[in-house]
Amino acid sequence: MFADYTWAELGSIFAMQGFAGLILFSVLLLMALGLAIIFGQMGVINMAHGEFMILGAYITYLTSNLFSTYLPDLFGIYFFIAMIFAFIGTFLLGSLVEWTLIRHLYKRPLDTLLATWGLSLILQQLYRTVFGPREVGVTLPDWMMGSYAVSDSIEIPVNGMIVMVITLVITIGVFLFLQKSRRGKQSRAVVLNRAMAGAVGIDTARVDRFTFALGCGIAGIAGATFTMIGSTGPTSGQLYIVDTFLVVVFGGAASLLGTIASAFSISQAQSIMEFFMSGSMAKVLTLLTVIVILMLRPQGLFSLKVRR
């Protein structure tokens, strides 16, 4: 199958395909980061995670409309403001959901799963009622469009690079936050030993609410970022949820490094296979491989030793 191509063409194909894989990696990692905090750290199954992402995307859409109508001069930078709005909006909704729903269910993980699924149905219908059933897209400022030509045959899209940079920044930010900041240390302490954390004076209920809301907020940023590469519809969130959960589980639930490694291997495997077969078969094979590996190694790629 390679005979028809020259070496130079093959090199370009692999470079482009590899770059497509890197963009997919950024997308998967961004989606999984929020979940890695909520599911990996807290053990809460949030089936509405996709809907939080979509909320972020819709907030970005609204912000872009707002800027193009009232502040056309500043349209070039609206995206970063939209990201902040998306974070705040999803963070607030996350705290509300934790307070009304999740906090009653910490000891019943399977029930959380069903309740958050119910929440995701309600949010979907809400989006459909408010924004209509059709997918919406945002207009990007000029500097975010087009592509950068590395050589004659290799072109790299600018929005793809921006997605990668955002992912990098957010990932480092989350890592530093969890490792270094006071809040981050508290939330890790609560995960490791709730009773002891409470005994040394950490308000575990407040830490729980903050951690959950933070995960939702990061989902919102992920959603905002998605608007650069795709359109948003009421049910878009559901498409991502299985992939996202598999990334987190495959990485080893409580390990941020594992999440990064698993997002990388899943995305590269899929984009390389997509070149040889249809997209759906590539996806089937990737997911199957992940599941088989998980059956052989249920704790995931990287596992944190925790006494429970």
Partner 1 sequence: MLQSKLRSLTPKNDVISFLILAAILLVALPLLFDIFRLNLIGKYLTFAFVALGLVLSWGLGGILSLGQGIFFGIGGYAMAMFLKLEASSPENTKIQSTPGIPDFMDWNQLTELPWFWEPFHSLGFTIFAIFALPALFAYIIGAAMFKRRVGGVYFAIITQAIAAIMTILVIGQQGYTGGVNGITDLRTLLGWDIRTDSAKYILYFVNSILLLATLVVAQYIRKSKLGRLLVAMRDSEDRVRFSGYDVANFKIFIFCVAGVFSALGGAMFTLQVGFMSPSLIGIVPSIEMVIFAAVGGNLSIFGAVYGALIVNWAKTILSESYPELWLFAMGGLFIAVVLAFPKGLAGIYESYVQPLLNKKFKSTQDK
Tell me which residues touch partner 1 (CB under 8 A).
43, 45, 101, 104-105, 108-115, 117-125, 128-129, 238, 241-242, 245-246, 249, 278, 280-281, 283-284, 287-288, 290-291, 294-295, 298
60, 224 Cβ separation under 8 angstroms: yes
Q: How far is the CB of 44 from partner 1 (least distance, A)?
A: 10
Provide the CB-side half-sphere exposure for 35 (13 A, CA). Answer: 33
- Give dist(CA 38, CA 255) in Å, integer: 12
Nearest CB to partner 1, comparing residues 221 and 282:
282
Contacts of 58 (CB under 8 A, 6+ apart): 127, 131, 136, 223, 232
- Give dist(CA 65, CA 264) in Å, integer: 34
Q: How far is the CB of 176 from partner 1 (least distance, A)?
A: 29
Tell me the three state secondary structure of residue 147.
Answer: strand
Q: How far is the CB of 262 from partner 1 (least distance, A)?
A: 13
Nearest CB to partner 1, comparing residues 120 and 267:
120
Contacts of 172 (CB under 8 A, 6+ apart): none
Nearest CB to partner 1, comparing residues 77 and 108:
108
Q: How far is the CB of 182 from partner 1 (least distance, A)?
A: 30
Nearest CB to partner 1, comparing residues 105 and 154:
105
Which long-range contacts link 258-265 to residues 24+ away (Cβ below 8 Å)?
258/300, 258/301, 258/302, 258/303, 259/29, 259/32, 259/33, 259/36, 259/40, 260/29, 260/171, 261/301, 261/302, 262/32, 262/300, 262/301, 263/25, 263/28, 263/29, 263/32, 264/25, 264/29
Nearest CB to partner 1, comparing residues 108 and 206:
108
Q: How far is the CB of 116 from partner 1 (least distance, A)?
A: 9
Q: What number of other Cβ atoms are within 10 A of residue 63's Cβ?
A: 21
Nearest CB to partner 1, comparing residues 196 and 288:
288
Q: How far is the CB of 6 from partner 1 (least distance, A)?
A: 32
Nearest CB to partner 1, comparing residues 123 and 163:
123
Tokens of 9: 């063409």
Q: How far is the CB of 98 from partner 1 (least distance, A)?
A: 14
201 — alpha (psi -120 to 50), left (phi > 0) or beta? left
Q: How far is the CB of 159 from partner 1 (least distance, A)?
A: 27
Nearest CB to partner 1, comparing residues 122 and 149:
122
